[in-house]
């Protein structure tokens, strides 16, 4: 049972915009930054978004993050086949659950 | 460019202790800027944080694993280590080491550890 809640799956067609949600609580998302990771099949997770909406160098601006209250979202616009991957949200948690807590992951399928 | 590499046995017997090491290159493990941590991923499942250690030596463990986990740093070798005791089949997973300022920004490639007799 993950501390952060994500939908298990999402899908879209090439060129579409897709969003993935992440729900938490006041001890994590509500009071700390949200990070997002992309995990391609058979590889380690890669940092996609940090501090709610910042992109590391090299991450396309098709990927964007937002946060409101105790929830966060990852948006992918102009969907491409290479975006098919698992996506995880994470946050610092001030309670005994933390300090690092993850979502259960969302498998994105590009139809 | 900070790089991390996990190493250790790929097969551990039930009830024994799993021991992994993460070697850090491109940066100092003594840096006050970083946390160092371990995360695992059972086959076909999501990520689970195991524990983290700060440069000061302060450790933080997942409450569900706390009684079995020890994370330590060897500054002379620029490495940090994970020990997980009394393992069962449920501990079979890919184990990742990672570096963080708040949350991980750099990950090792991961190493599969199978618990089986």
pLDDT tens per residue, range A20-62: 999 999 999 999 999 999 999 999 999 999 999 999 999 999 9
- Cβ distance A102 to B47 less than 8 Å, yes or no, reads yes
Q: Which two tokens stand for residue B14?
A: 């039930």
What is the DSSP code (8-state) at residue A56? P
Please report, for residues A34, A65, B99, the alpha-carbon distance to residue B1 in angstroms, rounded to integers and kept in the order given: 23, 25, 12
- Cβ distance A45 to B107 less than 8 Å, yes or no, reads yes
- Cβ distance B103 to A96 less than 8 Å, yes or no, reads no
Collect all residues with Cβ–Cβ distance below 8 Å to A84 and sequence separation of at least 6. Answer: A108, A109, A110
Q: Which two tokens stand for residue B112?
A: 């599969």
Mapped onto helix, strand or coil, the DSSP state of residue B67 is helix
- For chain B, list residues whose CB is within 8 angstroms of any CB belonging to chain A: 37, 39, 46-49, 52, 60, 63, 96, 100, 102-110
Collect all residues with Cβ–Cβ distance below 8 Å to A78 and sequence separation of at least 6. Answer: A15, A17, A62
Report the residue of chain A nearest B51, measured CA to CA.
A100
> A74 vs chain B: nearest CA distance in angstroms?
17
pLDDT tens per residue, range B18-57: 999 999 999 899 888 899 999 999 999 999 999 999 888 8
């Amino acid at each position: 049972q993950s501390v952060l809640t994500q939908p298990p799956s999402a899908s879209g067609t090439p060129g579409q915009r897709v969003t993935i949600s992440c729900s938490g609580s006041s001890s994590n998302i509500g009071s700390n930054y949200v990070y997002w990771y992309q995990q391609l099949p058979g590889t380690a997770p890669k940092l996609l978004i940090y501090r709610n909406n910042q992109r590391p160098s090299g991450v396309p601006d098709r990927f964007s993050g937002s946060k409101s209250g105790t929830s966060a979202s990852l948006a992918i616009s102009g969907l491409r086949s290479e975006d098919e991957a698992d996506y995880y949200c994470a946050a610092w948690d001030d309670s005994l659950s933390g300090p690092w807590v993850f979502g259960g992951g969302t498998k994105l399928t590009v139809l | 460019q900070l790089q991390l590499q996990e190493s250790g046995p790929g097969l551990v017997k039930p009830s024994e202790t799993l021991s992994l090491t993460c070697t850090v290159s491109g940066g100092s493990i003594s840096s006050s800027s970083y946390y160092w941590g371990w995360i695992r991923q059972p086959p076909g499942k999501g990520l689970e944080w195991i524990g983290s250690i700060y440069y000061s030596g302060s450790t933080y463990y997942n409450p569900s694993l706390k009684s079995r986990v020890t994370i330590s740093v060897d500054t002379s070798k620029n490495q940090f280590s994970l020990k997980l005791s009394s393992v069962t089949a449920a501990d079979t997973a890919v184990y990742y080491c990672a570096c963080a300022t708040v949350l991980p920004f750099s990950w090792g490639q991961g190493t599969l550890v199978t618990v089986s007799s």
